[in-house]
């Protein structure tokens, strides 16, 4: 993401936090900026390394607290399979509500795309209900090849 675009997203994020009674403090803003600037999901320890030049005394707990805040305000998602974080395309539109989300994870280049397909979410809900289960959170992670990697791949 271009830096102008990132700054714009950060302003939107700050406004979304304010609307739900939170505050995008400097450390939270820095962590969100690093996530948005990355081309692929980033793990907590990578974030910590990237914070070090600015914050020599940043500890893992500093990063985890910021990530927790950003997640609870609907600004980022955790991609469990990669144990890494990605900016939410909805940017805080649904604070305190983890919207149903699906991730397309490219095995070759590491790109992750967030999609939100109401049909998939409904199907997961129905299947769970049939088993007498009440889901509170459903993330579907799909591994494969992105358009770029697929079209560039040689037949094996
Ligand atoms: Zn999202
Ligand atoms: Zn790819």
Q: Would you give per-residue pLDDT tens digits along the chain (156 residues)?
A: 788 899 999 999 999 999 988 999 999 999 999 999 998 999 999 999 999 999 998 999 999 999 999 998 989 999 999 999 999 987 766 665 667 889 999 999 999 999 988 899 899 999 999 999 998 888 899 999 999 998 865 555
Topology of domain 1-92, CATH: Arc Repressor Mutant, subunit A (1.10.10)
Ligand number, closest to the Cα atom of 112? 2
Q: Is the Cβ–Cβ distance between 41 and 82 less than 8 Å? A: yes
Phi, psi of 115, deg, nearest 5? -125, 160
Q: Is the Cβ–Cβ distance between 103 and 140 less than 8 Å? A: yes
Instruction: Report the Cα 57 to chain-centroid distance in Å.
Output: 25
Residue span(s) of the chain under CATH 1.10.10.10 come to: 1-92
Closest by CA to 2, choosing from 29, 47, 28, 36, is 36
Strands 76-79 and 101-106: unpaired
Which pLDDT value is given to residue 97? 60
Distance from Cα 57 to the centre of ligand 1, integer Å: 31
| Both tokens assigned to 35 | 């996530």
∠ CA(3), CA(12), CA(103), 5° rounding? 75
- β-partners of residue 104 are 113, 142
Distance from Cα 101 to the centre of ligand 1, integer Å: 6
Ligand number, closest to the Cα atom of 111? 2
Ligand number, closest to the Cα atom of 79? 1
Q: Which residues contact 23 (CB under 8 A, 6 or more apart)?
A: 17
Q: What one-character DSSP code corresponds to residue 81?
A: G
Distance from Cα 26 to the centre of ligand 2, integer Å: 33
Residue span(s) of the chain under CATH 3.30.1490.190 come to: 100-149
Which pLDDT value is given to residue 23? 95
Ligand number, closest to the Cα atom of 108? 2
Is the domain covering 100-149 a CATH 3.30.1490.190 domain? yes
């Amino acid at each position: 993401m271009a830096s102008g675009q990132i700054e714009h997203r950060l302003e939107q994020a700050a406004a979304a936090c304010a609307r739900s009674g939170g505050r995008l403090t400097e450390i939270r803003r820095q962590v969100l900026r690093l996530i948005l600037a990355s081309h692929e999901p980033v793990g907590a320890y990578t974030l910590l390394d990237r914070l070090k030049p600015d914050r020599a005394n940043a500890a893992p707990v500093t990063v985890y607290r910021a990530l927790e805040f950003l997640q609870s305000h609907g600004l980022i998602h955790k991609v469990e399979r990669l144990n890494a974080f990605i900016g939410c395309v909805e940017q805080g539109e649904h604070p305190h509500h983890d919207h149903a989300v699906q991730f397309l994870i490219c095995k070759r280049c590491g790109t992750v795309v967030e999609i939100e397909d109401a049909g998939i979410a409904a199907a997961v809900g129905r299947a769970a209900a049939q088993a007498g289960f009440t889901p509170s959170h459903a993330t579907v992670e799909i591994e494969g090849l992105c358009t770029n990697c697929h079209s560039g791949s040689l037949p094996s």
